[in-house]
Copies of this chain bind each other. A is one copy, B any other.
Amino acid sequence: MNALTKRMNPSELDQWSNRWLDHVEQALSRWISPDAPAGLGEAMRYSVLDGGKRLRPLLVLAAREAVANGVPNPALDEAALRAACAAELIHAYSLVHDDMPCMDNDVLRRGKPTVHVKFGEAQALLAGDALQALAFEILTPDASAIPEGVQARLCRLLAQAAGHAGMAGGQAIDLASVGVALNEDQLRHMHRLKTGALLEASVMMGAACGAASEQALQGLQAYGRALGLAFQVVDDILDVIADSATLGKTAGKDAANDKPTYVSLLGLDEATSYAQSLLREALNALHDTGLTHTHTLAALAERVVNRNT
């Protein structure tokens, strides 16, 4: 039995997700203290809790499941839960800053007013900054909880994905690309950094919570890379075909902002087949890992590509 023969159906994935999302929500709520001073804690909690698909945490946890190979380990399970939350905190902070007036100037996110609309720009700036720091703080509890080698590896993966060669770098390219005609290589490079790096790192953080072979790590990385790109292609498609109420954020804003997208570059039909080919690539990469517990990762990739929000 390998990853491609054992399949997880949508309701099994829902069950798996719901169970883990409960843990993730509780952990986030425990770690984002409402006591942070002068309203900062409130703004941080508003930014993170009760919203979002939590794709990054689910990828961390599914990758941990793949490398755990059915053998529980409390310290590494705890490490994976922390990594799941840390990835979500980095994602959440990037949304808070990205929505600010000097960036995308967006007022609606997950169906609610954005953080700067609700709490003011200065508090939004600080909340984003504090969420980034918190991500690294929860990855590094005292030594008794999680082996320090795992802590260091998780910080390394997350920092590289968040920084100049990852998410922040991708945002800079995005900023510089408004009204610019990018070719497909340039668009792919931007997205690999802007959203792909953190999605890929989520998979690799889960993989770091276990003892995976070099072959398994390479397969998981290829899976993460294909999935990260597929996610963005589908995002571009949904920005065109979905409405704001379904998305929970302003639809059509890429075109309105004259931003290059896969749809503007390839057209809707070709973008849709590209997403499907990336899905096949992701599933093949899972097969190449040689791991047997990859069915959740496979089902997550299918959900990412076939989603409608």
Does A97 reach chain B (CB closer than 8 Å)?
Answer: yes
* B129 and A102 contacting across the interface, CB-CB below 8 Å: no
A97 touches B163 (CB 8 A): no
* The one of B121, B165, B168, B176 that contacts A39, using a Cβ cutoff of 8 Å: B176
Q: Which of A122, A135, A176 has the most CB of B within 10 A?
A: A122
**DSSP class of A's interface residues: helix, strand, loop or mixed?**
helix
| A132 surroundings in chain B (CB, below 8 A) | 129, 132-133
Which of B97, B128, B136 interacts with A159 by CB under 8 Å?
B136
Shortest beta-carbon distance from A53 to chain B in Å: 22
Do A133 and B163 form a contact, CB below 8 Å, given A40-B169, A152-B148?
Answer: yes
Q: Does A300 contact B (CB under 8 A)?
A: no
Bitwise, A161-172 to B at CB < 8 A (1) or not (0) is 011111011111
Contact: A133 with B156, CB < 8 Å?
no
Min CB distance A173 to B, Å, is 5
A125 within 8 A of B: yes
Q: How many copies does the complex hold?
A: 2
Whether B102 and A121, one on each chain, are in contact in the complex, defined by CB atoms closer than 8 angstroms, is yes
Contact of A130 among B36, B130, B134, B168 (CB under 8 A): B168
27 intermolecular pairs with C-beta atoms under 8 Å apart: A33-B164, A33-B165, A38-B172, A40-B169, A40-B172, A97-B126, A97-B129, A100-B125, A102-B120, A102-B121, A102-B122, A103-B125, A122-B175, A126-B171, A129-B129, A130-B164, A134-B163, A136-B158, A137-B159, A139-B155, A143-B149, A148-B149, A148-B153, A151-B151, A151-B152, A152-B152, A152-B155
A residues adjacent to B (C-beta < 8 A): 33, 36-41, 44, 93-94, 97, 100, 102-103, 120-123, 125-126, 128-130, 132-137, 139-143, 148-149, 151-153, 155-156, 158-160, 162-166, 168-173, 175-177, 193
